[in-house]
């Protein structure tokens, strides 16, 4: 279905500071909803002035007792942010106004979801400082609600941001919290615990604390050996990282045995990773491993990342 163009009424566009009542905010919410099924090209018909009006409509919805309308509008704006060309200034305004609307509506679930949308937008647009700021607020909401899975998802995202920013202590802090969340006896919790123990060990290795990194990676290695249902590609990544840590500690013979074990797990599963491990096995044992592609610190959803 072809989406109707999102156009703010001319009178509102000419008076962007005009206070809108709840009904007008709801109208704008309906307008925003129309673009959700259209192509990006069809949606990029909103002038910056009109976009400012739409975003500014969230706050009056709160002050006029229509906070739920403000939440609805904020949700739709985040959902269509790329299509309508949301910029950093409007994103700042939408972030604050959306959070205020959810708080006024006494809707903590929506508050957490809006904070997540805000953090993701800034992360995707390269502003990791703001992304982390909003993610911290998001995590607090999920913590108060006791939503463990959402707490964990937020912590993994924050850890990823700290990796990019080179904030080792903060990254490791995320893994400490994740480790406490995954202290369960079911298979899913055990698998998640392996992932966070491995990530913590890899981080320590990356920051030069190779002995401590080896201890944790060896622990993760033993854990995956007793988890027959653990995905083979992820298991191979743990084994490979353990081999890398052993090599960094000068235990090249043992490291090669771990590389052989990793290769056996990768055959018929991941040709790219298998070729990478073959390169490791071909490396001269008397020298350090040359920089090369390595598995991601995040075992789940593995790619061949640096």
Q: What is the chain's Cα-based Rg?
A: 24
Q: CA–CA separation, 217 vs 262, rounded Å?
A: 14
Report pLDDT for 14.
Answer: 39
Structural tokens at position 70: 């403000």
What is the reported pTM?
A: 0.81
Q: What is the pLDDT of residue 88?
A: 92
Q: Can you give the pLDDT at residue 185?
A: 62
The H or E element containing residue 282 is: none
Residues 6+ away with beta carbon under 8 Å from 115: 99, 134, 135, 137, 138, 141
Task: Collect the ranges in the chain with pLDDT lower than 50.
Answer: 1-20, 25, 29, 33-39, 42, 45, 301-306
Do the Cβ atoms of 233 and 269 come closer than 8 Å? yes
Q: Looking at the domain 182-286, which fold is it?
A: 1.25.40
- What pLDDT was estimated at residue 289? 73
Determine the Cα angle at 216 with ends 280 and 270, to 5°.
40
Residue with tokens 């990194």: 213
Task: Judge whether 57 and 24 are in contact, CB under 8 Å.
Answer: yes
3-state helix, strand, coil in the chain (%, to 5): 70, 0, 30
Predicted local distance difference test score (pLDDT) of residue 36: 43
Quote the pLDDT of residue 23.
Answer: 52
Say what the pLDDT of residue 190 is.
86
């Amino acid at each position: 279905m072809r989406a109707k163009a999102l156009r703010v009424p001319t009178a509102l566009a000419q008076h962007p500071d005009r206070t809108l009542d709840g009904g007008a905010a709801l109208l704008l919410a309906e307008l925003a909803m129309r673009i959700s099924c259209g192509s990006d090209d069809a949606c990029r018909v909103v002038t910056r002035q009109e976009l400012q009006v739409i975003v500014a409509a969230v706050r009056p919805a709160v002050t006029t007792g229509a906070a739920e309308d403000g939440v609805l509008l904020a949700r739709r704006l985040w959902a269509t942010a790329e299509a309508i060309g949301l910029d950093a200034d409007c994103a700042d305004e939408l972030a604050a106004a959306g959070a205020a609307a959810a708080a006024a509506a006494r809707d903590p679930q929506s508050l957490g979801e809006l904070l997540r949308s805000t953090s993701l937008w800034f992360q995707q647009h390269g502003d990791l400082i703001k992304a982390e700021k909003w993610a911290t607020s998001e995590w607090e909401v999920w913590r108060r609600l006791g939503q463990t899975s959402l707490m964990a998802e937020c912590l993994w995202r924050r850890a990823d941001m700290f990796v990019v920013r080179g904030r080792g202590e903060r990254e490791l802090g995320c893994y400490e919290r994740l480790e406490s969340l995954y202290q369960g006896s079911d298979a899913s919790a055990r698998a998640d615990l392996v992932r966070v123990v491995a990530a913590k060990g890899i981080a320590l290795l990356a920051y030069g604390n190779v002995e401590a990194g080896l201890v944790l990676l060896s622990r993760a290695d033993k854990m995956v050996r007793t988890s027959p249902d653990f995905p083979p590609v992820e298991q191979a990544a743990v084994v490979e990282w353990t081999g890398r840590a052993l090599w960094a500690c000068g235990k090249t013979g043992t490291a090669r045995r771990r590389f052989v074990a990793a290769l056996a797990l990768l055959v018929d599963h991941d040709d790219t990773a298998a070729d990478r491990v073959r390169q490791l096995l071909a490396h001269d044992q008397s020298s350090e491993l040359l920089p090369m592609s390595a598995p991601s610190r995040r075992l789940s959803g593995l790619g061949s990342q640096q």
